[in-house]
Chains A and B, each alone.
Chain A
Amino acid sequence: MTTLTLRGWLLAEVPRSKGQARCQRVFISWLAFKRNPVAVIGLLIIASLVMVALLAPWLTSTEALELNLAKRLQPPGGEHWFGTDELGRDILDRIIWGSRITLYIVGLVSIIVVPIGLVIGVVAGYIGGWVDNFLMRLTDIFLAFPRLILAMALVAALGPGLENAVLAIALTTWSPFARIARAEALTIRNSDFILAARMQGVSTAGILTRHVAPLCMSSVIVRLTLDMAGIILTAAGLGFLGLGAQPPTPEWGAMISLGRQYLIDQWWVPTMPGIAILVVSLGFNLLGDGLRDVFDPKSGGNQ
């Protein structure tokens, strides 16, 4: 009975309070999201990634970085589900620890990219004029760059390493966010409630931070989720080329790179971390697709 009334409260045609309205929005989005099995799978994958990263110390029996030359290159089996690598380390354990690095990269890139993109886009879209022109030209220039190669050149100059790889990826990733935020800001700018806020004497900065930016967030988040896979793949590519995280860090791309020479005879060494990358970036893509269907049905959703 309680669930029934809760549902009724969540679907009431006229919300009684701000809080109820907000809960309703989330709930209705969730109902649409739930109908999309593909998106739910994506959410499950990402949720398990986060769980695995959090629980890494309890999930792994051996210390992942510990060498054990007596047990090197053992095939997958009961003791080592994914086999062992050239230094006798359990591959599954290393992948589990590696999930933290993946999340670290993804998180760090997002923290850098979203604010930059949001600020540039919102300011350009809301203020307009030459500011808009200048900022969008800048964005276009970065948008026109080939991402991986630029990241490679940057890392080559800065020196290989995880942080530099993140920086390089961030520098080549922010531009689409600025574009999206600008497009949203442009439509919001002319709406009546902004005019109302302005007439009440809210400052430009206030309007930007309290009204425009929050409304851009949903499209930015959808785009971010869709971009996550790209970020992970670029990071793994840099790691594979030896430009990202350095061994013995269990970064998945670097693991594939090290295992490459064992491909023919001990296939599991480079294959397992690749599957991990595939699954996680698939998860983000599925989730992003689903979120887009819910928040932006126009662009090819279930409508």
Chain B
Amino acid sequence: MRASSVLKAAGPGRALPSKLVKASGVIVSLILTFVGLTAVTFTIGRVMPADPVLAIVGDRASQEVYDQVFLQLGLDKPIYVQYLKYLGQLLQGDLGTSIMTAQPVAEDILRFFPATMELATVATLLGVFVGIPMGVLAAVKQGRWPDHVVRVIGLIGYSAPIFWLGMVALLVFYARLDWVAGPGRLDVFYDGIVDPVSGILLLDAALAGEWDIFDNALDHLILPASILGTFALAYIARMTRSFMLDQLGQEYILTARVKGIPEWQVIWRHAFRNVLVQLITIIGLTYASLLEGSVLTETIFSWPGIGLYITKSLFNNDMNAVLGGTIVVGVCFVGINMLSDLLYKLVDPRVR
């Protein structure tokens, strides 16, 4: 990913065939990752528990029920047949049925997912718009107090257990100061008024023109998003700082200074433009990891997203739901990273 290696990759003689090879390489690795992911979830779900049937029916079920489930799961067949069948079901969007909600897991997830997306998106935006300037500032003032302040803030955000941070924030800003609304997405009072069109409450409320609800939703969102955003901010600021330092040490920066360009332009027009290209991948990575990181935040804030869904299913021994959620988050994770990689290739002239 470093500049020097990228430089070599781009020669004048790049024709269509090499692009095709690259594209097919991406697709192959995507497929392989998917196969790997499902192999792991399959192993966790069907192979690892001493008795997957017992895990489903419970130990008080009759022998008849037990046998029926045993056959239903196809456990009499060889493992690879079971896996292929599992894969087939997944490809049709069949993640099994949840024991907890008695509905298809896929439908459940569709219902819970937008809440997580809303949270992760706002958190990432916070991280981007606060973290990047912080990182740039730290790099420019390297070794002086702004650098130390940003580094320490970043490291604290990086080091604090997110669930604990959320609890403390709830205690201070909700219970003591009463600045923000408490757990959940809305006050009970407003629940179910707006039609879930996109599932993203801020969007739905705005579309319906229900500004009271919009305000209330924002009030509820701000704290969990800030907590989740702290991690995003810390990570992005840290990476920005390190990329920026790397770029500021490059020769072309010296060239720009020799030309007599004002320092702020050297920083933003020259160094930062190079950093931005690299940051695209980092922002994608942050967003993907926030989708996952929301598990703990959602638990603390009773935020009805996919993280809460997975955790609750876990305690109800609802393996279908847990594994379904794992696959969906995993696919999003891989997908977003792949997407940001593509975007990076579009933006960087050296690999275009």
Contact = CB atoms under 8 A, between A and B. Distances in A.
Interface of A: 38, 137-138, 140-142, 144-150, 152-154, 156-158, 229, 233, 236-237, 240-243, 253, 256, 260, 263-264, 267, 270-271, 273-274, 277-278, 281-282, 284-286, 289, 298-303
B334 interface: yes
Interface in B289-323: 289, 291-293, 295-296, 299, 310-311, 314-315, 319, 322-323
A147 B292 CA distance: 8
Interface in B144-183: 148, 151-152, 155-156, 158-165, 167-168, 170-171, 175
A281 B156 CA distance: 9
Contact of A286 (B155, B164, B334): B155
B242 A146 contact: no
A240 B300 CA distance: 10
A242 B37 CA distance: 25
A106 B232 CA distance: 24
Interface stretch (B28-36, B102-110, B190-198): B28-36
B249 interface: yes
B277 to A, nearest CB: 17
Contacts of B337: 144
A33 to B, nearest CB: 15
Contacts of B289: 146
A156 B314 contact: yes
B110 to A, nearest CB: 18
A285 B329 contact: no
B164 A278 contact: yes
Contacts of A299: 242, 246
Nearest to B156: A282
Q: How large is the interface on B (under 10, 10 to 19, 20 to 34, 35 or more residues)?
A: 35 or more
Given A264-B175, A274-B167, A150 B36 contact: no
A149 B163 contact: no
Interface stretch (B14-22, B38-46, B62-70, B344-352): B38-46
Contacts of A277: 160-161, 164
Contact of B296 (A237, A278, A302, A303): A237
B40 A150 contact: yes
A108 B39 CA distance: 26
Nearest to B249: A303
A270 B329 contact: no
Given A153-B44, A158-B48, A278 B161 contact: yes
Contacts of A148: 292-293, 295-296
A146 B330 contact: yes
Given A141-B33, A153-B41, A157-B319, A274 B311 contact: no
Given A156-B314, A267-B171, A303-B249, A278 B159 contact: yes
B161 A274 contact: yes
Contacts of A281: 158-161
Given A137-B29, A278-B156, A300-B246, A237 B161 contact: yes
A109 to B, nearest CB: 17
A141 B39 CA distance: 11
Nearest to A286: B155
Contacts of A150: 40, 326, 330
B159 A144 contact: no
A256 B167 contact: yes
B326 A300 contact: no
B171 A145 contact: no
B295 A152 contact: yes
B241 A240 contact: no
B325 interface: yes
B333 interface: yes
A146 B292 CA distance: 6
Residue from the set B48, B163, B311, B334 with the largest chain A CB neighbour count within 10 Å: B163
Contacts of B156: 278, 282
A8 to B, nearest CB: 29
A148 B59 CA distance: 29
Contacts of B159: 229, 233, 278, 281-282, 284-285
Contact of A300 (B40, B152, B167, B242): B242
Nearest to A273: B164
Contact of B241 (A153, A154, A236, A300): A300
A157 B49 contact: yes
A270 B37 contact: no
Contacts of B291: 146
A286 B334 CA distance: 30
**Which 8 A-B residue pairings sit nearest by Cβ, starting from the closest?**
A300-B242, A274-B164, A141-B36, A146-B292, A282-B159, A281-B159, A157-B48, A157-B44
Nearest to B29: A140
Given A137-B32, A233-B161, A241-B299, A263 B170 contact: yes
A251 to B, nearest CB: 12
Looking at A147, A229, A233, A236, the one whose CB has the most chain B CB atoms below 10 A away is A233
A238 B333 CA distance: 20
A237 to B, nearest CB: 5
A157 B311 CA distance: 13
Contacts of A302: 142-143
B130 interface: no
A152 B330 CA distance: 13
A301 B159 CA distance: 20
Contacts of B171: 263-264, 267, 271
B248 to A, nearest CB: 10
16 contacts: A38-B148, A144-B334, A144-B337, A146-B329, A152-B311, A153-B44, A156-B44, A156-B319, A236-B163, A240-B163, A240-B296, A260-B167, A267-B171, A274-B160, A277-B164, A281-B161
